[in-house]
Amino acid sequence: MSFPARRPRRLRTTPAMRRLSAELVMAPQQLILPAFVREGLTEPNPITSMPGVVQHTMDTLKAAAAEAVTLGLGGIMLFGIPETRDATGSAGVDPAGILNRGIEAVRAEVGDELVIMSDVCLDEFTDHGHCGVLDAAGNVDNDATLEIYGRMAVAQAEAGAHMLGPSGMMDGQVAVIRQALDDAGHQDVSILAYAAKYASAFYGPFREAVDSQLKGDRRTYQMDASNRREAMIEVELDLAEGADMVMVKPAMSYLDVLADVAAMSPVPVSAYQISGEYAMIEAAAANGWIDRRAAITESVLGIRRAGADTVLTYWASELAQWLKEGK
């Protein structure tokens, strides 16, 4: 059937008709809020390159988590920023370290009403800013890093995390973390694997958010932006090692990869709308070049349409509020 019998515009005639015929609907439970807690703060510290996002105190972190519950968000992903760093990122495995205390505080605040997720990576905790420990030649030592990831994962589970997010892109990280969790009696703690994480220019504002000490780049362990098929290898490995969910990061520039992963994955798929994606839209909106609310909504909808079951986005709480208002 073709024109004039077929007129696709019939299903676009009114807002009600467009709602009825929408192929995809967004809901608050599909959104995950990334949140930063910094040691030593007495007031929230605004992140200049990410307007509206802050480094939290413990109290404001708990308030953000409580708000997330009220708004019906799916989860919160926690990152910690310590006062003191060293070569091995020891603050990351310390039960009294800022991230583990943050997890503990959020779990006490919201219990099981929100999925509490935490970042299993050393970059926030090392004085060199890499996601793993360095060998004598200054290269990231994959296998030595895995042993630390295992201890870090157990510490986070014991602090109260429901789901762990290994983001360092070390080979074998999911298997080592799964084994460490099981050996410590945390069989019910799940893993959201950063399975296809690319080396990206769009991480810039995040480096400010976590006060990164990195000199150089992470291209020897994060994926190359040229590679699409390689992502399937990374995802398949993480699935074989026991990942309960998998993630593509960044989202915007990798929607093709996200669609590929969603088409083959037997487990839920997430995508991370990263700091640079956030900063670009905020900057354009601040200059009056785009409609802020419409652009935010469309950007997250595009990630969902490409295949993400859940989206990590710094707009999670604000977008959830809009969705509730819309209803």
Return the half-sphere exposure (C-beta side, CA atoms, 13 A cut-off) of residue 202: 19
- Nearest alpha-carbon partner for 38 in 264, 233, 212: 212
- Exposure string of 155-185, with b = 16+ CB inside 10 Å and e = fewer, is bbbbbbbbbbbbbbbbeebbbbbbebbeebe
**3-state SS class at 164:** strand
Q: Which residues pair with 78 in a beta bridge?
A: 35, 118
- Nearest alpha-carbon partner for 196 in 219, 176, 222, 173: 222
Rg from Cα positions in the chain: 20
First to last CA, the chain: 36
Residue 74 CA, distance from chain mean position: 12
Alpha carbons 147 and 23: distance in angstroms, whole number: 45
Phi/psi for 307 (5° steps) reads 135, 0
- Mark whether 215 is an active-site residue: no
Alpha helices in the chain (DSSP H): 15-21, 58-71, 98-110, 142-159, 173-183, 204-209, 229-241, 255-264, 275-286, 292-306, 316-326
Alpha carbons 128 and 122: distance in angstroms, whole number: 10
Of the residues 62, 197, 324, 327, only one is catalytic, namely: 197
Of the residues 62, 215, 249, 327, only one is catalytic, namely: 249
- Mark whether 249 is an active-site residue: yes
C-alpha dihedral, 268 to 273 to 274 to 276, nearest 10°:
160
- Catalytic site residues? 197, 249
